[in-house]
Protein backbone atom coordinates (compact mmCIF):
# COMPACT_ATOMS: atom_id res chain seq x y z
CA UNK A 1 0.00 0.00 0.00
CA UNK A 2 1.20 3.52 -0.74
CA UNK A 3 2.26 5.27 2.46
CA UNK A 4 0.16 8.34 1.72
CA UNK A 5 -2.94 6.12 1.39
CA UNK A 6 -2.20 4.29 4.63
CA UNK A 7 -1.73 7.65 6.33
CA UNK A 8 -5.36 8.58 5.62
CA UNK A 9 -6.57 5.21 6.88
CA UNK A 10 -4.40 5.42 10.01
CA UNK A 11 -5.68 8.86 10.96
CA UNK A 12 -9.31 7.94 10.26
CA UNK A 13 -9.17 4.91 12.55
CA UNK A 14 -7.88 7.02 15.45
CA UNK A 15 -10.47 9.80 15.24
CA UNK A 16 -12.78 8.14 17.75
CA UNK A 17 -10.06 8.51 20.40
CA UNK A 18 -7.81 11.39 19.32
CA UNK A 19 -8.27 14.64 17.42
CA UNK A 20 -7.01 14.77 13.84
CA UNK A 21 -3.91 16.81 14.62
CA UNK A 22 -2.79 14.42 17.33
CA UNK A 23 -3.44 11.37 15.15
CA UNK A 24 -1.44 12.93 12.32
CA UNK A 25 1.44 13.72 14.68
CA UNK A 26 1.48 10.05 15.77
CA UNK A 27 1.74 8.97 12.14
CA UNK A 28 4.79 11.11 11.45
CA UNK A 29 6.48 10.20 14.75
CA UNK A 30 6.18 6.51 13.88
CA UNK A 31 7.22 7.11 10.26
CA UNK A 32 10.43 8.78 11.38
CA UNK A 33 11.15 6.27 14.13
CA UNK A 34 10.52 3.10 12.08
CA UNK A 35 11.52 4.24 8.59
CA UNK A 36 13.66 7.38 9.04
CA UNK A 37 11.24 9.22 6.79
CA UNK A 38 9.82 12.70 7.32
CA UNK A 39 6.73 14.48 5.98
CA UNK A 40 8.79 16.07 3.22
CA UNK A 41 9.86 12.63 1.97
CA UNK A 42 6.24 11.75 1.21
CA UNK A 43 5.81 15.04 -0.63
CA UNK A 44 8.90 14.44 -2.72
CA UNK A 45 8.06 10.80 -3.44
CA UNK A 46 4.30 10.12 -3.20
CA UNK A 47 4.80 6.61 -4.60
CA UNK A 48 6.57 5.29 -1.48
CA UNK A 49 4.96 2.07 -0.23
CA UNK A 50 4.81 -0.09 2.90
CA UNK A 51 5.78 -3.74 2.50
CA UNK A 52 3.60 -6.47 3.99
CA UNK A 53 5.68 -6.92 7.16
CA UNK A 54 5.81 -3.16 7.61
CA UNK A 55 2.03 -3.00 7.37
CA UNK A 56 1.78 -5.65 10.10
CA UNK A 57 3.99 -3.54 12.38
CA UNK A 58 1.93 -0.41 11.73
CA UNK A 59 -1.36 -2.22 12.34
CA UNK A 60 -0.03 -3.54 15.65
CA UNK A 61 0.94 -0.03 16.75
CA UNK A 62 -2.42 1.29 15.58
CA UNK A 63 -4.32 -1.21 17.74
CA UNK A 64 -2.24 -0.25 20.78
CA UNK A 65 -2.89 3.45 20.17
CA UNK A 66 -6.61 2.67 20.10
CA UNK A 67 -6.14 1.27 23.62
CA UNK A 68 -4.60 4.66 24.54
CA UNK A 69 -1.15 3.30 25.28
CA UNK A 70 1.12 6.38 25.11
CA UNK A 71 3.00 6.79 21.85
CA UNK A 72 6.21 7.36 23.83
CA UNK A 73 5.97 3.89 25.37
CA UNK A 74 5.22 2.32 22.00
CA UNK A 75 8.31 3.94 20.48
CA UNK A 76 10.34 3.45 23.65
CA UNK A 77 11.67 6.98 23.59
CA UNK A 78 10.81 10.65 23.90
CA UNK A 79 12.47 14.04 23.67
CA UNK A 80 13.08 16.27 26.69
CA UNK A 81 14.95 19.56 26.78
CA UNK A 82 16.45 18.80 23.37
CA UNK A 83 17.76 15.39 24.42
CA UNK A 84 16.59 11.84 23.64
CA UNK A 85 15.41 9.61 26.48
CA UNK A 86 14.38 5.99 26.73
CA UNK A 87 11.01 5.63 28.44
CA UNK A 88 9.09 2.54 29.52
CA UNK A 89 6.38 1.47 31.95
CA UNK A 90 8.78 1.93 34.90
CA UNK A 91 9.14 5.69 34.48
CA UNK A 92 6.89 8.67 33.91
CA UNK A 93 6.91 10.27 30.48
CA UNK A 94 8.64 13.66 30.95
CA UNK A 95 6.33 16.68 30.65
CA UNK A 96 6.88 20.10 29.06
CA UNK A 97 6.25 21.71 32.46
CA UNK A 98 9.29 19.90 33.82
CA UNK A 99 11.36 21.35 30.98
CA UNK A 100 10.40 24.76 32.36
CA UNK A 101 11.72 23.75 35.78
CA UNK A 102 15.00 22.60 34.22
CA UNK A 103 15.30 25.89 32.33
CA UNK A 104 14.75 27.85 35.56
CA UNK A 105 17.48 25.90 37.35
CA UNK A 106 19.95 26.30 34.48
CA UNK A 107 19.36 30.03 34.15
CA UNK A 108 19.54 30.47 37.92
CA UNK A 109 22.85 28.60 38.13
CA UNK A 110 24.35 30.72 35.36
CA UNK A 111 23.25 34.07 36.73
CA UNK A 112 23.74 33.46 40.44
CA UNK A 113 26.62 30.99 40.62
CA UNK A 114 28.62 31.53 37.45
CA UNK A 115 31.49 29.08 36.94
CA UNK A 116 31.62 27.84 40.55
CA UNK A 117 31.60 24.05 40.81
CA UNK A 118 28.19 22.83 41.91
CA UNK A 119 26.89 19.71 43.61
CA UNK A 120 23.36 18.96 42.48
CA UNK A 121 20.87 16.33 43.72
CA UNK A 122 17.70 15.20 41.94
CA UNK A 123 15.33 13.32 44.26
CA UNK A 124 12.92 10.89 42.58
CA UNK A 125 14.76 10.95 39.27
CA UNK A 126 12.64 8.44 37.31
CA UNK A 127 13.91 8.46 33.73
CA UNK A 128 16.73 10.77 34.83
CA UNK A 129 15.41 13.59 32.62
CA UNK A 130 16.09 16.38 35.14
CA UNK A 131 19.47 15.15 36.37
CA UNK A 132 20.75 14.34 32.88
CA UNK A 133 19.55 17.62 31.37
CA UNK A 134 21.29 19.53 34.14
CA UNK A 135 24.50 17.50 33.76
CA UNK A 136 24.43 18.19 30.02
CA UNK A 137 23.81 21.93 30.35
CA UNK A 138 25.76 22.89 33.49
CA UNK A 139 29.33 21.77 32.77
CA UNK A 140 30.51 22.73 36.26
CA UNK A 141 27.91 20.51 37.97
CA UNK A 142 28.52 17.23 39.78
CA UNK A 143 25.10 15.58 39.61
CA UNK A 144 23.57 12.93 41.86
CA UNK A 145 20.16 11.30 41.47
CA UNK A 146 18.04 9.22 43.85
CA UNK A 147 15.10 6.92 43.21
CA UNK A 148 13.33 4.18 45.16
CA UNK A 149 12.78 2.05 42.04
CA UNK A 150 15.60 -0.19 40.80
CA UNK A 151 13.93 -0.47 37.39
CA UNK A 152 13.61 3.31 37.08
CA UNK A 153 17.28 3.74 37.99
CA UNK A 154 18.29 1.15 35.39
CA UNK A 155 16.45 3.22 32.77
CA UNK A 156 18.04 6.44 34.05
CA UNK A 157 21.53 4.92 33.84
CA UNK A 158 20.93 3.94 30.22
CA UNK A 159 19.75 7.48 29.52
CA UNK A 160 22.89 8.95 31.06
CA UNK A 161 24.97 6.73 28.79
CA UNK A 162 22.81 7.65 25.78
CA UNK A 163 23.36 11.35 26.45
CA UNK A 164 27.05 10.97 27.38
CA UNK A 165 26.91 12.49 30.86
CA UNK A 166 28.14 11.39 34.26
CA UNK A 167 25.47 11.14 36.95
CA UNK A 168 25.84 9.25 40.23
CA UNK A 169 22.68 7.19 40.73
CA UNK A 170 21.62 6.02 44.18
CA UNK A 171 18.78 3.67 45.13
CA UNK A 172 17.16 5.12 48.22
CA UNK A 173 13.74 5.60 49.80
CA UNK A 174 13.69 9.29 50.59
CA UNK A 175 10.86 8.91 53.12
CA UNK A 176 13.10 6.60 55.17
CA UNK A 177 16.15 8.87 54.92
CA UNK A 178 17.24 10.89 57.94
CA UNK A 179 20.32 12.51 56.42
CA UNK A 180 21.75 12.63 52.89
CA UNK A 181 25.30 12.58 54.35
CA UNK A 182 26.49 15.10 51.77
CA UNK A 183 26.11 18.83 51.21
CA UNK A 184 24.65 20.19 47.99
CA UNK A 185 24.35 23.55 46.26
CA UNK A 186 21.06 22.62 44.59
CA UNK A 187 18.41 20.03 45.45
CA UNK A 188 15.56 19.41 43.01
CA UNK A 189 12.54 17.17 43.19
CA UNK A 190 9.49 16.41 41.09
CA UNK A 191 7.94 13.92 43.53
CA UNK A 192 4.52 12.23 43.43
CA UNK A 193 1.93 14.95 44.00
CA UNK A 194 -1.40 13.95 42.42
CA UNK A 195 -4.04 13.33 45.09
CA UNK A 196 -6.47 10.44 44.68
CA UNK A 197 -9.29 12.98 44.58
CA UNK A 198 -7.74 14.35 41.37
CA UNK A 199 -7.67 11.01 39.55
CA UNK A 200 -10.74 11.95 37.53
CA UNK A 201 -8.67 14.74 35.95
CA UNK A 202 -6.00 12.32 34.75
CA UNK A 203 -6.25 11.08 31.19
CA UNK A 204 -6.89 7.37 30.67
CA UNK A 205 -3.58 6.89 28.83
CA UNK A 206 -1.71 8.17 31.90
CA UNK A 207 -3.87 6.49 34.53
CA UNK A 208 -3.72 3.03 32.96
CA UNK A 209 -0.09 3.03 31.81
CA UNK A 210 2.25 5.26 33.81
CA UNK A 211 3.61 4.09 37.19
CA UNK A 212 1.29 5.08 40.05
CA UNK A 213 4.26 4.98 42.45
CA UNK A 214 5.57 8.10 40.72
CA UNK A 215 2.21 9.85 40.45
CA UNK A 216 -0.07 9.58 43.46
CA UNK A 217 -0.16 10.54 47.13
CA UNK A 218 -2.87 10.11 49.75
CA UNK A 219 -5.43 12.90 50.01
CA UNK A 220 -4.81 13.44 53.73
CA UNK A 221 -1.02 13.83 53.37
CA UNK A 222 -0.49 15.34 49.93
CA UNK A 223 2.73 17.12 50.93
CA UNK A 224 4.42 14.07 52.45
CA UNK A 225 7.35 14.13 50.02
CA UNK A 226 7.73 17.91 50.11
CA UNK A 227 7.87 18.01 53.91
CA UNK A 228 10.52 15.32 54.00
CA UNK A 229 12.65 16.73 51.19
CA UNK A 230 12.46 20.29 52.54
CA UNK A 231 13.55 19.04 55.98
CA UNK A 232 16.48 17.19 54.41
CA UNK A 233 17.36 20.29 52.39
CA UNK A 234 17.66 22.26 55.64
CA UNK A 235 20.34 19.82 56.75
CA UNK A 236 22.04 19.12 53.46
CA UNK A 237 22.06 22.37 51.51
CA UNK A 238 25.15 24.55 51.70
CA UNK A 239 24.84 28.20 52.71
CA UNK A 240 22.75 30.01 50.06
CA UNK A 241 21.90 26.62 48.56
CA UNK A 242 18.65 26.37 46.63
CA UNK A 243 15.73 23.97 46.73
CA UNK A 244 13.57 23.59 43.59
CA UNK A 245 10.26 21.73 43.38
CA UNK A 246 7.68 20.87 40.77
CA UNK A 247 4.35 21.03 42.59
CA UNK A 248 0.65 20.23 42.44
CA UNK A 249 -1.06 23.20 40.77
CA UNK A 250 -3.74 23.27 43.49
CA UNK A 251 -1.30 23.40 46.39
CA UNK A 252 0.80 26.47 45.62
CA UNK A 253 -0.40 28.33 48.73
CA UNK A 254 0.19 25.29 50.95
CA UNK A 255 3.70 24.88 49.53
CA UNK A 256 4.52 28.55 50.08
CA UNK A 257 3.40 28.26 53.69
CA UNK A 258 5.45 25.07 54.15
CA UNK A 259 8.68 26.70 53.01
CA UNK A 260 7.93 29.84 55.02
CA UNK A 261 7.39 27.76 58.15
CA UNK A 262 10.75 26.06 57.56
CA UNK A 263 12.47 29.48 57.27
CA UNK A 264 13.49 29.25 53.61
CA UNK A 265 14.48 32.57 52.07
CA UNK A 266 13.55 34.17 48.75
CA UNK A 267 10.61 31.83 48.21
CA UNK A 268 9.30 32.10 44.66
CA UNK A 269 6.29 30.44 43.06
CA UNK A 270 6.11 30.27 39.26
CA UNK A 271 3.37 29.33 36.83
CA UNK A 272 3.86 26.94 33.92
CA UNK A 273 3.05 27.55 30.25
CA UNK A 274 -0.59 26.68 30.98
CA UNK A 275 -0.91 29.30 33.73
CA UNK A 276 -0.89 26.80 36.61
CA UNK A 277 1.16 27.15 39.81
CA UNK A 278 3.85 24.56 39.03
CA UNK A 279 7.36 25.45 40.24
CA UNK A 280 8.82 26.66 43.50
CA UNK A 281 12.19 27.80 44.74
CA UNK A 282 13.53 28.57 48.19
CA UNK A 283 17.02 29.18 49.58
CA UNK A 284 18.80 28.38 52.82
pLDDT for res 110: 83
Could you tell me if residue 151 is inside a domain?
Answer: yes
Name the β-bridge partners of 130. Answer: none
131 shares its domain with 266: yes
Distances (CA, A) of 263 to 80, 224, 267, 280, 284: 33, 18, 10, 15, 8
Do 144 and 24 fall within a single domain?
A: no
Looking at the structure, tell me whether residues 149 and 243 fall in a common domain: yes
Range of the domain at 188: 91-283
Give 10-residue mean pLDDT values along the chain (284 residues): 96 96 97 96 95 96 96 97 97 96 94 80 98 96 97 98 98 97 97 92 89 91 97 96 97 96 97 96 96
pTM: 0.93
Residue 151: per-residue pLDDT: 97
Q: How many domains does the chain have?
A: 2
Quote the pLDDT of residue 175: 96
Amino acid sequence: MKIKEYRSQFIQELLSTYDEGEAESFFYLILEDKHQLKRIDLVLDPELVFLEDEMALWNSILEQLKLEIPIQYLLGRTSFYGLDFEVNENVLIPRPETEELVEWIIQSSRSEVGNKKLKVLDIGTGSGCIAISLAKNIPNAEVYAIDVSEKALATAKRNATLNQVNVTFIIQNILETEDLNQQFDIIISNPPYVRNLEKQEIKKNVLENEPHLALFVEDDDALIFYKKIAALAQKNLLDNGQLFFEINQYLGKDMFELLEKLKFKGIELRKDIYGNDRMMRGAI
